């Protein structure tokens, strides 16, 4: 059964699914990511005792870690739940709007449309930016290039959205073809746009030679685990809420749901 | 709920209210993401407080930081 809920219902569902997803992702981050952030900050503080004034350079955008920070480490760990909760709700609301738009062009059932959308959203705004500009722990990255790196990262998000759009467009353009052929064409268009974008965007490598490679790798895996949790939970929670809602409203929907 | 699929009614961007809600929600969501991911003390009246409060989340979300 396609989605027939009002925009308001979709938005509330997106906010709730996003909040659930954000808190789950923050929990993953708390256990998997925080130990690596602690380790990286320890390296940063040990490596640069001369740069102790780093925290006072607020006018230039620098900030401090550890004891001198305006927010303590335990505060930042709690703040991660706030950050992910807020980000999750924001993503959930935007996701609801995107689903509201997408359902005009799709005959997929509500839950299937939502799950497809979540996978595409993860590919666009997590996977494509991540594999060009992977997440970095504290102590990696030159404070002077923060503006450039932020804009490049935003450009990579835009690239991801373009690549997914191209993939979906290719898939839809081949409506007369077999399902697998359409899927191959869609993936090929996505990969093509992503590759061109990767070649155009400049590389950034600000990892110091003496920064432990294993710690960098572990942090990046933790980041990927967190964002994957965020989007998997958002999609699954949104789809589950959709299915619950349609089951209650009409008995017919229940039969369709079990058949699909 | 009797209509199975209504491509251009209710669900679309056809009426003004829906457009306004959409624009408003997009702006609010982007402001929230800005506070979480990009705020370097420009908007928040608390200096770097929000920036540092969201610090770990921003790093783990993969947004560039310092």
Q: What is the pLDDT of residues A58-93, one digit of tens each?
A: 433 445 665 556 788 888 899 899 999 999 999 999
Chain centroid offset of residue A247 CA? 30
Cβ(A170)–Cβ(A181) below 8 Å: no
Q: Does B9 touch chain A (CB under 8 A)?
A: no
> What pLDDT score does A36 carry?
93
> What pLDDT score does B26 carry?
94
At residue B13, does pLDDT exceed 70? no
Q: Tell me the C-alpha distance between A78 and B64, whole Å.
A: 20
**Contact check, Cβ <8 Å, A222/B6:** no
Instruction: Looking at the complex, report in whole angstroms how far the Cα of residue B31 sits from the nearest Cα belonging to chain A.
Output: 9
A26 CB burial (10 A radius; 0-12, 13-18, 19+): buried
Query: Among A99-103, B25-29, B55-59, whose mean pLDDT is lowest?
Result: B55-59
Closest by Cα among A141, A136, A149 to A215: A136
Tell me the pLDDT of chain A averaged across its residues. Answer: 88
Output the pTM of the full model. 0.85
Q: Tell me the C-alpha distance between A161 and A164, whole Å.
A: 5
Nearest to B41 among A58, A90, A137 (CB): A58
Q: Tell me the C-alpha distance between A168 and A105, whole Å.
A: 11
Q: Tell me the C-alpha distance between A221 and A227, whole Å.
A: 10
pLDDT band at A205 (very low <50, low <70, confident <90, very high): confident
At residue B37, does pLDDT exceed 60? yes
List own/partner pairs for A65-74 with CB under 8 A and 24 or more apart.
A65/A41, A65/A138, A66/A41, A69/B52, A70/B47, A70/B48, A70/B49, A70/B52, A71/B49, A71/B52, A71/B53, A71/B55, A73/A38, A73/A41
Chain centroid offset of residue B1 CA? 30
Q: Mutate which of A26, A36, A76, A245 to disrupt the B interface (most B C-beta within 10 Å)?
A: A76
Closest by Cα among A196, A214, A235 to A92: A235
Q: Tell me the C-alpha distance between B50 and B35, whole Å.
A: 7
Within 8 A by CB and 6+ apart from A113, the residues are: A2, A3, A99, A102, A103, A106
Instruction: Looking at the complex, report in whole angstroms how far the Cα of residue B27 sits from the nearest Cα belonging to chain A.
Output: 10
At residue B7, does pLDDT exceed 80? no
If one compares B17 and A238, the residue with the highest pLDDT of the two is: A238
Chain A / chain B CB contacts < 8 angstroms: 164
At residue A146, does pLDDT exceed 90? no
- What residue segments make up the domains of chain B, in order of their start? 26-66
- What residue segments make up the domains of chain A, in order of their start? 5-140+207-259
> What pLDDT score does A222 carry?
96
> What pLDDT score does B43 carry?
59
pLDDT band at A98 (very low <50, low <70, confident <90, very high): very high
As a whole-number percent, the residues of chain A with pLDDT over 90 amount to 66
Q: Does A156 touch chain B (CB under 8 A)?
A: no
**Contact check, Cβ <8 Å, B33/A134:** no
Q: Give A55-93 as a DSSP string.
A: GG-GGGT----GGGSSS-HHHHHHHHHHHHHHHHHHHHH
> What pLDDT score does A177 carry?
92
Instruction: Looking at the complex, report in whole angstroms how far the Cα of residue B51 sits from the nearest Cα belonging to chain A.
Output: 9
């Amino acid at each position: 059964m396609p989605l027939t809920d009002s925009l308001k219902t979709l938005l509330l569902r997106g906010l709730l699914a996003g909040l659930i997803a954000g808190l789950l992702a923050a929990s993953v981050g708390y256990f998997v990511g925080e130990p690596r952030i602690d380790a990286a900050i320890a390296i940063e503080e040990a490596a640069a005792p001369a740069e102790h004034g780093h925290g006072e350079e607020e006018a230039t955008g620098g900030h401090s870690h550890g004891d001198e920070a305006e927010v303590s480490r335990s505060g930042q760990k709690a703040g991660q739940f706030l950050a992910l909760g807020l980000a999750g709700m924001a993503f959930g609301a935007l996701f609801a709007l995107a689903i509201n738009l997408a359902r005009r062009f799709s005959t997929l059932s509500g839950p299937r449309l939502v799950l497809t959308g979540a996978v595409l959203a993860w590919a666009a705004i997590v996977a494509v930016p991540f594999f060009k500009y992977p997440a970095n722990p504290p102590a990696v990255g030159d404070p002077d290039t923060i503006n450039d790196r932020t804009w490049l990262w935003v450009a990579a998000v835009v690239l991801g959205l373009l690549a997914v759009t191209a993939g979906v467009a290719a898939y839809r353009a081949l409506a007369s073809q077999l399902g697998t052929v359409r899927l191959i064409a869609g993936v090929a268009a996505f990969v093509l746009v992503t590759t061109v974008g990767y070649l155009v965007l400049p590389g950034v490598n600000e990892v110091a030679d003496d920064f432990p490679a294993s710690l960098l790798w572990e942090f990046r895996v933790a980041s990927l685990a967190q964002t994957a949790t965020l989007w998997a939970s958002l999609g699954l929670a949104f789809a589950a809420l959709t299915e619950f809602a349609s089951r209650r409203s009409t008995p017919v929907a229940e039969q369709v749901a079990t058949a699909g | 709920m009797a209509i199975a699929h209504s491509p251009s009614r209710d669900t679309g961007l056809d009426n003004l209210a829906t457009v306004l809600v959409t624009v408003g929600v997009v702006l609010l969501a982007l402001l929230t993401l800005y506070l979480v991911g990009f705020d370097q003390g420009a908007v928040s009246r608390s200096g770097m407080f929000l920036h540092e409060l969201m610090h770990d989340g921003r790093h783990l979300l993969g947004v560039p930081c310092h």
